[in-house]
């Protein structure tokens, strides 16, 4: 049986759309869904429970994604196991598609993730420009992070369960697998709602930079990195010169975010979660 674990902290505005998408096929009762409401002060638990018996709601008092994931593991019934952020949208059919390569013991695949779709309509022009570049970067295309969904086999789960508590849990999980052990499944898609405003984009980038620095403290410097290099941007411009203006915006966001992230990195503040609320608007 495939289990889906959804950590949710004050996600009343969006948890319903995810669960409705996962439950859209009433004939499929083989998937176990666990929503872990961690430190919620809103109606997340009530809204999730309203989706019926196929959704099991677990409540824990501490607002911690890491604690929520571990609590979800304690209650999940089977493998493959799919971890889904509450603010994305994934269908039940796409969840099953992600699980298929993991159920084949001969494939060598330990972790999968779906193709991402970012609906940019309604976003500020600088946000749209930023993501035109970001989506084309090699590490972003090939890695499992930044999708809000990662699926693992039982062997893959053992590997990520051994990781320390990290803010960038999806990045750390992606880097825990070699290119041959992970797969982005073209036939599966997740909708990742981007920030709508420049300010919220910067919040996300600060959080990403701080959490990447934390991940790198736990890794060998010689190991592969997910950081964007100047060579990546030059290579992109050689292929698509029309992206020059978008690259300028991308670099500007990186410079601003890096400056603001330095204080938290120097203080080793890896607990402050800068939340983007604009992507949670209906």
Task: State pLDDT tens for residues 143-155.
Answer: 999 999 999 999 9
- Segment 139-144 long-range contacts (CB within 8 Å, at least 24 positions apart): 139/225, 139/226, 139/227, 139/228, 139/232, 141/184, 142/179, 142/184, 143/171, 143/174, 143/175, 143/226, 144/111, 144/112, 144/113, 144/170, 144/173, 144/174, 144/177, 144/182, 144/184
pLDDT of residue 220: 59
Distance, CA of 189 to CA of 173 (rounded, Å): 19
Are 185 and 162 spatial neighbours (Cβ–Cβ below 8 Å)?
no
User: How far, in Å, CA of 268 to CA of 274, rounded?
Assistant: 15
Q: Which two tokens stand for residue 218?
A: 């736990």
* Domain map (residue ranges) of the chain: 79-280
pLDDT at 271 over 80: no
The per-residue pLDDT for range 2-59, each reduced to its tens digit, is: 999 999 999 999 999 999 999 987 656 778 999 999 999 999 999 999 999 999 999 9
- Residue 147 has what DSSP assignment? S
125-134 and 244-266 helices, crossing angle to 10°? 90
How much is the pTM? 0.91
- Could you read off the pLDDT of 164-211 as tens digits, one per residue? 776 667 888 888 899 999 999 999 999 999 999 999 999 999 888 887
pLDDT of res. 2:
93
- Return d(Cα 200, Cα 73) in angstroms, integer: 31
Query: What are the tens digits of pLDDT across the range 8-17?
Result: 999 999 999 9
CB proximity list for 44: less than 8 A, separation 6 or greater = 8, 9, 10, 11, 12, 15, 35, 37, 86
User: Environment class of residue 239 by beta-carbon count within 10 Å: exposed (0-12), middle (13-18) or buried (19+)?
Assistant: exposed
What are the backbone dihedrals phi and psi of residue 46, each rounded to the nearest 5 degrees, phi first?
A: -65, -45
Mean pLDDT of the chain: 90
Residues in the chain: 282
Q: What is the pLDDT of residues 219-268, one digit of tens each?
A: 655 555 567 889 999 999 999 999 999 999 999 999 999 998 888 788 77
């Amino acid at each position: 049986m495939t289990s889906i674990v959804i950590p949710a902290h004050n996600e009343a505005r969006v948890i319903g759309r995810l669960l409705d998408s996962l439950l859209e096929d009433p004939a499929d009762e083989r998937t176990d869904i666990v929503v872990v409401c961690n430190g919620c002060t809103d109606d997340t638990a009530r809204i999730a429970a309203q989706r019926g018996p196929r959704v099991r709601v677990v409540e824990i008092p501490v607002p911690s994604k890491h604690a929520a994931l571990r609590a979800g593991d304690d209650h999940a019934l089977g493998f493959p196991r799919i971890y889904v952020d509450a603010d994305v949208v994934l269908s039940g059919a796409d969840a099953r598609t992600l699980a298929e390569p993991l159920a084949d013991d001969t494939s060598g695949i330990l972790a999968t993730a779906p193709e991402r779709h970012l609906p940019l309509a309604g976003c500020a022009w600088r946000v749209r420009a930023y993501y035109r570049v970001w989506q084309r970067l090699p590490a972003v295309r090939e890695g499992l992070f930044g999708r809000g969904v990662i699926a693992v086999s039982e062997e893959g789960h053992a590997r990520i369960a051994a990781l320390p508590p990290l803010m960038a849990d999806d990045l750390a999980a992606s880097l825990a697998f070699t290119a041959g052990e992970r797969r982005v499944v073209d036939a599966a898609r997740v909708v990742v709602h981007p920030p709508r405003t420049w300010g919220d984009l910067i919040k996300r980038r600060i959080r990403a930079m701080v959490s990447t620095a934390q991940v790198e403290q736990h890794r060998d410097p010689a190991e592969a990195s997910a950081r964007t290099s100047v060579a990546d941007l030059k290579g992109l411009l050689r292929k698509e010169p029309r992206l020059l203006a978008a690259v300028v915006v991308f670099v500007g966001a990186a410079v601003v975010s890096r400056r603001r992230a330095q204080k938290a990195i120097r203080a080793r503040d890896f607990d402050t979660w800068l939340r983007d609320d604009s992507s949670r608007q209906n």
